[in-house]
Amino acid sequence: MVDLSKWNLTDAFTGLQAACLWCEVSPVSTLVFLASHDKDRVGGVMQAFTAALVSGKLRGDTASNPRALIGNHESTFIAREELMRFAETMGERPRFLFDTILPASASEVAAESPDGPKKKPGRPQKHDWNGFYVEIVRVADMEELPATQADLVRQMLFWFSNHYDGRQPAESEVKKRIGDIYRGLKATGWEPRGPKMKR
């Protein structure tokens, strides 16, 4: 299985990289190099990308892909946010796009151990999702969660803007995470009553 923790900082993928990661297979440069048992799965996702790119349901950058003219989109670059939007329309949440708290690889765990070497700092995440969740916990504890998801989405977009010089993630990313929180709360028996989610 591919080490997804190495890909969660990538902002754009080739169509084939994204198809491989979607199936949790190590990315290859061409479908020919895939093991036979992975070709059908990855090929199916790649075909879904190709159809969506051709129809306009998925947007990609074909500037560096001369084969796009003949319908080959293995080398077409697709932005992370665009892939996330497309995944949501398909009702899927592939881990390389949506799991922001991926487990560390064995080498990273060893590097962080007291006897091991210090891990070099990597490229920071584009948005502070850990801070986002901490702020939601603070709001729930100190202020009360809004009864509607839309109110919390607006509040958290405002929070991002205030704390990160106006930089905000896509509203769809915030909506998805907050939707997961509210669905999880409701599944445990919580219901919105007025301004706060109460048991």
Q: Domain check: are 133 and 90 in the same one?
A: no
How many whole angstroms separate alpha carbon 121 and alpha carbon 99? 20
Kindly give, in sequence order, each residue whose CB lies less than 8 Å from that of residue 166, ignoring residues fewer than 6 positions away.
none
How many whole angstroms separate alpha carbon 50 and alpha carbon 46? 6
Residue 111 CB-density burial (10 A; 0-12 exposed, 13-18 middle, 19+ buried): middle
22-50 pLDDT per residue, tens: 988 888 767 667 777 788 888 899 999 99
Q: Domain check: are 11 and 59 in the same one?
A: yes
129-179 pLDDT per residue, tens: 888 888 888 888 777 888 888 999 999 999 888 888 778 888 999 999 988
- Residue 81 falls inside a structural domain: yes
pTM for the structure as a whole? 0.50
The total domain count for the chain is 2
Q: Domain check: are 93 and 149 in the same one?
A: no
Q: Domain check: are 9 and 79 in the same one?
A: yes
How many whole angstroms separate alpha carbon 6 and alpha carbon 24? 12
Q: Domain check: are 91 and 150 in the same one?
A: no
Q: Domain check: are 85 and 149 in the same one?
A: no
- Residue 124 falls inside a structural domain: no
- Residue 115 falls inside a structural domain: no
- Residue 37 falls inside a structural domain: yes
Domain that holds residue 58: 4-98
Angle of helix 36-55 relative to helix 15-22, nearest 10 degrees? Answer: 130
Question: 75, 98, 121: which is the final residue of a domain?
Answer: 98
